[in-house]
Amino acid sequence: MEGGQIAFAAIVITLFAIGVIVAVAFHHKAERERREAMRALAAQMGFAFTERDPVLDQRFRGFRDFGRGHSRTGLNLISGETRLGGVRMRLLMGDYQYKITTSNGKSTSTTTYNMSFISVVPLLRMTEELAVRSENFLDRLGAFVGFEDIDFESSEFSSRFHVKCSDRRFASDLFDPRMIEYFLESAVPEIEAQRGILLFDHGTRRWDPERFAVVLGWVDGFFARVPRHVRADRLPADERASDPVLNPTGRDGDGGAA
């Protein structure tokens, strides 16, 4: 290789190395800013903040989105007790990261995926397995060959959402006309429930910190629309008196729960 070619190759390598360094620096800066924004959100809500949890996936064992890949890690986690839709619950939300490694026999590549989530454990007893997401082509194909999800009286709802539940009676009770209308008129996250834990996310999408408040607002609306008879049957006795749906005037007649 001639001297000019060697010099040109050296310049290309140097520029590439600089580009990599700059990209890594920008990535670390963006991640640091996100971490601080999430920490500030936790402080604003009066909740605890955890920067990293390498065993978060064990808490959600069996949940579809937490069973993929390897090197699974929880990041920027916010936790505390709150009320949503009048129901008292434990809240955990933040980011989740995992990696998937593929090989074609000659080379191996690893892709990192990030997603955001909100999970709650409400005092409203919901131990059934439930999954709700937007209907897709494979779901329609499955229905054609006999693998059907639950159909509801609203044909629009049934065509837009894929609903599976271990107890069809519970699903029918939960998705009354008011709840169905709420789903049809809003941007709905994916929902998965197991062992009394409800998980809300948008698959492999990571939200801006401000987006958490928007999704929390949706979850608040979801619990506010849980029908009266479901609440009466599944809330602990000491929670029913302060429930804003079962008792709109509140325990002390002050217009709602504290």
Average pLDDT over residues 104-130: 92
What pLDDT score was predicted for residue 1? 55
Terminal-to-terminal C-alpha distance of the chain:
79
Token pair listed for 199:
């998980």
* Residues 40 and 56 placed together within one structural domain of the fold: no
What pLDDT score was predicted for residue 92? 98
Average pLDDT over residues 111-123: 95
Per-residue pLDDT of 214-239, as tens digits, reads 999 999 999 999 999 999 999 999 89
* Residues 131 and 30 placed together within one structural domain of the fold: no
* DSSP conformational letter for 120: E
* Residues 143 and 228 placed together within one structural domain of the fold: yes
Per-residue pLDDT of 143-168, as tens digits, reads 433 345 788 888 899 888 999 999 99
* Residues 221 and 235 placed together within one structural domain of the fold: yes
Total structural domains within the chain? 2
* Residues 89 and 130 placed together within one structural domain of the fold: yes
Counting Cα atoms < 13 Å in the Cβ hemisphere of 241 gives 6
Whole-structure pTM value: 0.81
Average pLDDT over residues 115-123: 96
Spatial CB neighbours of 229, under 8 Å, sequence gap ≥ 6: 173
- Sheet strand arrangement including 108-122: 48-53, 70-84, 87-103, 108-122, 197-201, 190-194, 130-134, 161-165
Q: Is the pLDDT of residue 256 over 50?
A: no
* Residues 158 and 81 placed together within one structural domain of the fold: yes
Instruction: Read off φ and ψ for residue 156, nearest 5 degrees.
Output: -65, -45
Does residue 146 or residue 107 have the better pLDDT?
107
For residue 189, the one-letter residue type is: P
* CA dist., res. 57 & res. 63, Å (int): 9
Per-residue pLDDT of 56-68, as tens digits, reads 999 999 998 898 9
Does residue 180 or residue 21 have the better pLDDT?
180
* Residues 27 and 11 placed together within one structural domain of the fold: yes
Q: Return the SS3 of 144.
A: helix
* DSSP conformational letter for 175: S
